[in-house]
Chain A
Amino acid sequence: MVFNSLTFLVFFVVLLVLHHLPFLSWRAKKVNLLIASYVFYAAWNPPFILLLWASTIVDWFIARGIYGARDKSRAVRRSWLVISVAVNIGFIGFFKYGEFLLQNWQALMSTFGIVYVPPEWNIVLPVGISFYTFVTMSYTLDVYLGRARPIPSFLNYALFVTFFPHLVAGPIVRPTQLVPQFDEPKQANRSQLLWGLGLMILGLFEKVVIADGGLSSAADSVFAAEKPVGFWDAWLGTLAFSGQIFCDFAGYSTIAVGAALCLGFGLPDNFRMPYAAIGFSDFWRRWHISLSTWLRDYLYIPLGGNRGTEVRTYVNLMLTMLLGGLWHGARWTFVVWGGLHGLYLAVERWIRDRTGIAGDPVHWFNRLTLVLVTYLLVNITWVFFRAHSFEGAARMLSGMVGLAPDAEPLLPTIYMIKVAVLVTAIVATHWWMRDRELERVVSRTPWWVTGLAAAAMLFAVIVTQGSGTAFIYFQF
């Protein structure tokens, strides 16, 4: 189920009541949470819960196998790890990349003059498979790398994998962040509950009002165009998507954090005002933090990170970002998106290494200029992320550099106004909040001002109504 649905509203109220019943044991409450998480997942497509169970059980046994072989040769432990990676990547490979692989195989064969017609592919992508697979893999990898022992309790382990707030779209939690929280009874106190609800309102506002209600129509109109796109339409469509993808995904993460907090649990931040990033290493410390740190810890560093030669470091960086791009979806445009980010990171690293510049500029104007340049370059990457083909991306980029002066106008004025107002507000908010924490800002703001803002957001969510549109990252 999706957070922005009436079904979730009912589900969450029932779960909150169950979790706060005074007479239930901690074990019974954890069982409740586990069952509720399975219900949360199965409410979308019940059969796919089998995949979730399979992924959970495989890594449970493999982690124990790896730990049991700790005194044996590295080859034995590595064999266990290979099984885990093969099973997990196998699931993703089949469900997410199967059709993509067949299509590319067909294209490859045709270059050799061999006619190969792939079978019709009617496999539905299980929602959230990329997220929960990374969660289970992080557990096995942590045990393999000696960062953790296997979790003694299967209940705690299964709940860690399945805990509904993070299950289908992150944050991609690590065992170290969440599992210890299941050791002792957890129940939100009044402040946690109220602040959790506040975060849920904020997340719903971002998703329902800004992403779906405010920006999606402009982005959809422009990216769906099959004719040349003019300068203003191309830029406004791309800016609209930049706001939409942020508010959609950050909205989800904020609701997830809020929902977990209402139950007494802490989930990590997944976004920290990314459109105020100065440079791309800063951007990736602020955008989808749980994925970027996962890729850093389980891919970039094992590849050698920056410990080898300079060339090797750039290769590692690029490989990590290309795979990060492919993680998002089975399309070459996602790979190019990742590759562009890899290129940006490499160039930034090269400049910093050559000039010795470290840290951010002191003067606010220089900082703001770099923020806007970074945001501009990020928008170029969003074209590849959102376009479904290279033709579509080329059409957009041509428009953005003014190569389609005779293109017919696409966006109605009302959409242009909405994009201009909302995207300016998003970037300005990121700039103002760049070095601030939301909790600290709320602490310093008069309570009635925050109350007015929260009421306005909740009212806007209610009158926008929303149609229960799925979150964009569900498809990844």
Chain B
Amino acid sequence: MGNSGHWTEEVTVREIPRARLVAMSWLVLALVVVGVAAWEWKMRTVGLVVGDLDDSKAQWAVERRKIAAGHFDDVVLVGSSRILFDTNLDVFEEVSGRRPIQLALAGTNPRPILTAFANDPGFRSLVIVDVTPDIYFGDWLGIPEFSGVVDYWKVQSPSERFGNEVGIFLSRQLAFLDSDYTLPKLIDQLDVPNRGDIVRPYLSVWKVWETNDDRQTYLWSGIERNERLRQHARTVWGPFDGAPMDPKAIDRAIQESVEAVRKIRAHGGEVVFIRPPSAGLYYEHEQRAAPRGKTWDRLLRETGAFGIHFEDYPEMRALDVPEWSHLSRDSAKAFTRAYAQVLMKEVPRLHEPPRRKS
């Protein structure tokens, strides 16, 4: 027996290959440096940029904690991708003197987040809720990547929090670190013939946004520049068949909203709804699938909340919507300026001191 009190004949001793490990390591290092540099160059040529931080639950959690800590200006944005891409936080702050917390999530129904605020008695801020008709008035909750996001900021592990910080640091140095341009996603984007009516990975959502600090998000410049990418995005948002949405789902959505608005107001908060612009076949589809009278107008009437519909404001109607669902970067600034000015006129509490809990 050894000093440890155990027999030592079973002690694990790893064999080391008799090979030129040092030379091998230098070769690996050199090839990987050259390979990564070439990959980085290639990714920059397709439009990826340094500082694009990749949106994720972890990024959302960073913003959500600002509310929990009371470090914010009393305005919160929730919604799907439209309010996320179409709001310029700097412009909003310039107009209103307040910088909103951006909690909208692409491809996600905002109602669970709205309900979570409604169920938090300490929440007494202004919530601006994006209404993208075919998401807001449906039962679909969102893409799997963001499932469980409502509570994630409370249960996120220290390891994940630290990893997110390291990821942000690296994203500020390297453009290729983008979850939409990973090797598996690029392979899945090959358009090969399929059996039957299979939903092809080719028709999954490719990169459409770019995220910076504070989750300031824009429609990716690649969509604005590249006709193929723009057409692909339009195809993915379809089909634009105009099939009417389930009336019962619409009832549930409105009832849930009524309850949420009531609770938030009872705590001292306020809710405003906003319908950002859409265009082309997507807009026509929405007109038929979720007619304004049966959805938007009813939502405002039953909740008693104020709302901004882009159709009602000429300055919001003549904007550039490259892939029919989100505004171009310049138009997002114009839209933000327009709707922030409306809010300053119509929402008195924006002229009052913040009511957030300290």
Contact = CB atoms under 8 A, between A and B. Distances in A.
Nearest to B176: A463
Interface stretch (A320-328, A385-393, A438-446): A438-446
A345 B288 CA distance: 63
B28 A179 contact: no
A213 B182 contact: yes
A194 B27 CA distance: 13
Contact of A468 (B18, B160, B200): B160
Contacts of A9: 166
B27 A213 contact: no
Contact of B201 (A1, A150, A151, A412): A412
A466 to B, nearest CB: 8
Q: Which of A142, A451, A462 has the most CB of B within 10 A?
A: A451
Given A409-B198, A410-B198, A148 B7 contact: yes
Given A183-B4, A414-B190, A455 B28 contact: yes
Interface in A339-375: none
A455 B159 contact: no
B2 A450 contact: no
Interface string A394-417: 000000000000001111111101
Nearest to A152: B5
A153 B196 CA distance: 66
B163 A5 contact: yes
Contact of B5 (A151, A217, A413): A151
Interface in B146-199: 157-160, 162-163, 166-167, 170, 176-177, 179, 182-184, 187-188, 190, 192-199
B12 A178 contact: yes
Nearest to A460: B183
A10 B166 contact: yes
A240 to B, nearest CB: 13
A229 interface: no
B69 interface: no
Given A194-B22, A195-B17, A459 B36 contact: yes
B10 A177 contact: yes
Interface string A199-240: 001000000010011100100000000000000000000000
A156 B4 contact: yes
Contacts of B358: none
Contacts of B195: 409, 413
B54 to A, nearest CB: 9
B162 A175 contact: no
A408 B201 contact: no
B14 interface: yes
B142 to A, nearest CB: 17
A437 B15 contact: yes
Contact of B193 (A197, A267, A413, A465): A413
A42 B35 CA distance: 36
A42 B159 CA distance: 9
A192 B198 contact: no
Interface in A423-456: 437-440, 442-443, 445, 447-448, 450-452, 454-455
B293 to A, nearest CB: 36
A410 to B, nearest CB: 7
Nearest to A45: B157
A162 to B, nearest CB: 16
Interface in B1-58: 1-25, 27-28, 31-32, 35-36, 39
Contacts of A409: 194-196, 198
B45 to A, nearest CB: 15
A2 interface: yes
B23 to A, nearest CB: 6
Interface of A is mostly: helix
A147 interface: yes
B196 A213 contact: no
Nearest to B184: A213
A454 B31 CA distance: 10
A192 B16 contact: yes
Given A192-B16, A458-B32, A7 B4 contact: no
A209 B194 contact: no
A174 interface: yes
A61 interface: no
Contacts of A217: 184, 188, 201
A418 interface: yes
Interface in B304-326: none
A111 interface: no
Contact of B182 (A197, A198, A465): A465
Q: Which of B8, B32, B170, B201 has the most CB of A within 10 A?
A: B32
Nearest to B192: A413
A147 B7 contact: yes
Contacts of B182: 213, 463-465
A414 B20 CA distance: 39
B20 A447 contact: yes
A412 B198 contact: yes
Interface string A159-201: 0000000000000011111111111000000111011011001
Contacts of A175: 4, 6
Given A6-B170, A414-B188, A468-B160, A451 B28 contact: yes
B176 A268 contact: no
Given A180-B6, A451-B24, A463 B19 contact: no
Interface string A34-50: 00000000111110000
A268 B12 contact: yes
A460 B179 CA distance: 14
A440 B14 CA distance: 12
Nearest to A268: B12
B41 to A, nearest CB: 13
18 contacts: A2-B159, A42-B158, A151-B5, A156-B4, A176-B8, A177-B10, A177-B11, A180-B11, A194-B22, A411-B198, A414-B187, A414-B192, A440-B17, A445-B19, A452-B27, A455-B28, A455-B31, A463-B183
Interface of A: 1-2, 5-10, 42-46, 142, 147-153, 156, 173-183, 190-192, 194-195, 197-198, 201, 209, 212-214, 217, 257, 261, 266-268, 408-415, 417-418, 437-440, 442-443, 445, 447-448, 450-452, 454-455, 458-460, 462-465, 467-468
Q: Which 5 A-B pairs have the closest CB atoms?
A: A149-B5, A451-B27, A455-B31, A43-B159, A266-B12
